[in-house]
Amino acid sequence: MKTTIIFITTVLFVTQVSFNSKEPANKAALGEMLFSDPILSRDRTISCASCHKPAFAFADTSAVSLGVRNKRGIRNTPTAMNISSQRVFFWDGRAKSLEEQALAPIVNPDEMDLSIAEAVQRLNADAGYRQYFRNIFNAPPNSTNLAIAIAAFERTLETSNSPFDNWKFSDDPKAVSDAAKRGFQLFNGKGKCVKCHFGPDLTTNEFRNIGLFNGKELNDSGRAAISGDKIETGKFKTPGLRNVAITAPYMHNGMFKTLREVIDFYNEPDKFVTKAKDRDTILAQPLGLSEEEKNDLLAFLRSLTDKRFN
C-alpha cells in the first residue's frame, strides 16, 4: 500500500494464442496476456507492450512511438504504471476510466488501427482466448470484458518500494544520499515542483500549461481540443513522477532526452521556448537553481525509481 507523500469490411483470421503461457487464472492475468499480444493490431505486428515497454516502467524510449505500418504517433507514450488512482487518462484527459483508456490505442489509426468489433471477432475465433474469457467472465470475448481485463492488469502495475519510500516511510536514513535529501527539500521549496507533483504518485492530475505551446513549431493545443475551452490551450495532464528516471524522453512531445534537460527547462524556460503563450504563473520567473541544486534535485528524482528496476 502506498503512503501519501505530502507536499468496416474486415477479414477474419483464425489463429491460436501466439505465445506459450499457462492459462490465466484471473482478469489481470488475462489482461497481461492481451497487453503483450499483437493480435489486437491490424497487421498483427505490435501490442500494447510494444510502446509500453516493461523494462522502462511501461513507457517508451523514443519521443513518439511507431504504430502499425511504422506510423508515427503525435505524442510521447506515458508510463502505464501507477495510474490506478488517476481520474483522467492520456495527455489531454480524453478518457475518464482505465477501461476507456484500454481500448483507445486499439482503434487509434496511428497505433494499432483495429476496430473493436474486429478485435472481438479475432478473440472469439481463437480457441484459447475463447476458453479463457469463458472461464474468467463466464462469457465470450466482447468489448466490455476486453476492456475490463486490460484495465485489471494495468491496475497491478503499482510501485512503492523506491529508495525514497524506504527513507521517508520506513525510517531508513541510509536509503538515499544526502544529495537526494537536499533535492527533496528543493522539490518542496525553491524548485516549486510540489505545486504540481504531490500525493502517492506525485501528480495533482491537473492540466497545466508549462510553456510548451507557442502556436508555431509547438502547436499542440492539448486539453483545449477535448474541452473546447480556449483557456486550456497548451495545457497537458501533469504526469506522476514514480520511476521517472527510466521513462525518458520527457514531456508530451518527448522533446527532452534527459531529466537534467527537464530541470534546466523548468529553471529557465525562456531559454528553451521563446514567446510561449499563457505559460503558468508558477513559471513566471526563473527558479535560480545553482548547479549543485540541480544535481541534488536530480538525485531526488532518481530516488523515486522502484527497486524492481535495479
Annotated binding residues for heme c, written as ranges, equal: 48, 51-52, 193, 196-197
Name residue, grid cell 518500494.
Answer: 161
Cis peptide bond N-terminal to 249, omega within 30: yes
Q: Which residue has the cell 469463458?
A: 134
Tell the burial category of 178 from Cβ atoms under 10 Å away from its Cβ (0-12, 13-18, 19+): exposed
**What residue ranges in the chain does DSSP mark as E strands?**
207-208, 236-237
Binding-site residues sit at: 48, 51-52, 193, 196-197
Do residues 48 and 150 make contact, with C-beta atoms less than 8 angstroms apart? yes
Residue 121 has φ and ψ, to the nearest 5°, of -60, -45
Residue 163 near residue 50, CB atoms below 8 Å: no
For residue 253, the SS3 value is coil
